[in-house]
Chain A
């Protein structure tokens, strides 16, 4: 090591102050986003791993249980059970994918906390919104890529959506919105967790929600208590909205409910994360 160069312009000693701090929020968010994307490119393993679960569940449900489950769906010809079930289960699988990538989000956020880099960001003049936005945008993109890959597997094994281009755009938008909302919750979970292990396990709860909704079987086939829960939990309108857009089933109020839920979840996750970002104690 050589010693530091002694000459240093005096102006450089006074970093940006006051009003200019605000204008950096966007630039800093982009910096944080590119950091997250760089992680993804550098270590694609974690992202790959998140799609493994949904793909296994998809193959299992379709090829093992699909014939019987499909035949039990209302108005389905028992002979075409498997195909009908693939169509039925696909939206639920896509949501499981989003929930699964929330596990990756919580893990990376928690790693940042335990590695102390988040603490470093906090001592710098970076707005907390930028740090969090980097996580949320990066992981939403990651979730969308995972959804695309899982959807690709679905198409390979015979999933045939009936959506028009407009409906496709609407479906992609809906999925992005849901992924965005779920990612905010995952960021909160990652920051709240005391260890990386807890952080990676917490979002498993989210993966159960499509199962306890209309993802795998119609809600009215569930026992009364569960059916009530399934009907009012957010993942049912999420699934029904995507199902309606991709397969032309009746939409009803589901898109509105889905957007409403997504906004509520995003705002809740945002507020939670912003709150603990400053409060969270450091090592």
Chain B
């Protein structure tokens, strides 16, 4: 168990009579990546803004590296870096000048500033555009510059609010590589995303946020095991074997045309072994087998899509998977 780099308890925030955050409990271990996954308006940006001292919470506590965001914002600011959902760059300067500005504000000293800026320009593929005004940058280039600006002083906790929104697939993968190498160096990352694939790729833990509440929290695999939809697909050589298997596994659904059976499964090895053992015992040979685990899309819809027609939410209770691991 690592000590948490980010910890919140009962974090609340409302704008007017609209409750945006309704008691967020979050714990992010040092050196790990947590993804905040949620639909539009779930409160992801608000959470990140509170943790990065931009917005004061109405209630609850939030600690970053042990510093309270309300009582000691200076302590928090000294260790964090934020790349917001919308790029936060100085549009009247060039890319290089933006980076140098950050380096000066982080007091790196003239020589180290220059070295660090050169290094970042190379890492983020901005060397050619370095001396050009930002007006000539594409959205993806601005986004990369934005992240480079965050990394000038190598903060130990980084918030990335939808870091890959608007990036092409190639830039998206490079962004992922960057996040991975940050983590390899021991940086703690909290990122928000609407893309399940991204959370799956990067995160050690995923917290699903909906309507200002965390409705699920766990590793990507734990989340996937939560939802129904996982199954085994067994294909047989002939109709006779299919008949036999179908009679044996009464919870299965048969597909005559495909000579296949679909058996519900939680995706665990136990179910798989049980099914195969029963078929073995009956001397029924399986031609082909595939395992379908629900992907995060299924999780997403199962957890956040439970809205009835009146728009009133049927809030699922928080699903906590701690301890579900054997």
Tell me if A117 and B185 are in contact (CB < 8 A): no
Taking the closest CB of chain A, its distance from the CB of B33, in whole angstroms, is: 15
Taken together as a complex, chains A and B put the C-alpha atoms of A43 and B90 apart, in Å, by 13
Number of A interface residues in the complex (CB < 8 A): 39
Known: A8-B185, A38-B93, A119-B88. A15 touches B78 (CB 8 A): yes
Chain B residue nearest to A4 in the complex (CB):
B181
Chain B residues 174 to 209 lying within 8 A of chain A, measured CB to CB, are 174, 177-178, 181-182, 184-186
Tell me if A119 and B154 are in contact (CB < 8 A): no
Given the complex, which residues of A lie within 8 Å of B107, measured CB to CB?
A: 16, 24, 27
Known: A5-B119, A42-B92. A120 touches B86 (CB 8 A): no
A282: interface (CB < 8 Å):
yes
Given the complex, which residues of B lie within 8 Å of A2, measured CB to CB?
A: 122-123
Chain A residues 1 to 50 lying within 8 A of chain B, measured CB to CB, are 1-6, 8, 12-17, 21, 24, 27-28, 31, 35, 38-39, 42-43
Tell me if B106 and A3 are in contact (CB < 8 A): no
B242: interface (CB < 8 Å):
no
Would you give the 0/1 interface string for A248-278, flagging 1 where the beta carbon is closer than 8 Å to chain B? 0000000000000000000000000000000
Contact-residue size bin, chain B (C-beta under 8 Å from the other chain): 35 or more
Taken together as a complex, chains A and B put the C-alpha atoms of A282 and B122 apart, in Å, by 31
Chain A residue nearest to B144 in the complex (CB):
A1
**Which of A15, A39, A281 interacts with B106 by CB under 8 Å?**
A15
Taken together as a complex, chains A and B put the C-alpha atoms of A111 and B90 apart, in Å, by 9
Chain B residue nearest to A120 in the complex (CB):
B88
B156: interface (CB < 8 Å):
yes
Tell me if B54 and A125 are in contact (CB < 8 A): no
Known: A4-B178, A116-B86. A124 touches B105 (CB 8 A): yes
B positions within 8 Å CB-CB of A: 49, 52-55, 74-75, 77-82, 84-93, 97, 101-102, 104-107, 119, 122-125, 133, 144, 149, 151, 153-156, 174, 177-178, 181-182, 184-186
Taken together as a complex, chains A and B put the C-alpha atoms of A21 and B78 apart, in Å, by 9
Tell me if A38 and B185 are in contact (CB < 8 A): no
Taken together as a complex, chains A and B put the C-alpha atoms of A58 and B180 apart, in Å, by 62
Given the complex, which residues of A lie within 8 Å of B178, measured CB to CB?
A: 1, 3-4
Tell me if B89 and A117 are in contact (CB < 8 A): yes
Tell me if A123 and B125 are in contact (CB < 8 A): no
Taken together as a complex, chains A and B put the C-alpha atoms of A75 and B320 apart, in Å, by 89
Chain A residue nearest to B85 in the complex (CB):
A283
Tell me if B53 and A115 are in contact (CB < 8 A): no
Known: A15-B106, A115-B88. A125 touches B93 (CB 8 A): no
Chain A residue nearest to B156 in the complex (CB):
A13
Chain B residue nearest to A282 in the complex (CB):
B54
Tell me if A21 and B88 are in contact (CB < 8 A): no
A122: interface (CB < 8 Å):
yes
Tell me if A4 and B123 are in contact (CB < 8 A): yes
Taking the closest CB of chain B, its distance from the CB of A10, in whole angstroms, is: 9
Given the complex, which residues of A lie within 8 Å of B54, measured CB to CB?
A: 119, 122-123, 282
**Which of A27, A39, A116 interacts with B92 by CB under 8 Å?**
A39
**Which of B77, B88, B151 interacts with A116 by CB under 8 Å?**
B88
Given the complex, which residues of B lie within 8 Å of A21, measured CB to CB?
A: 74, 78
Taking the closest CB of chain B, its distance from the CB of A109, in whole angstroms, is: 13
Taken together as a complex, chains A and B put the C-alpha atoms of A283 and B125 apart, in Å, by 28
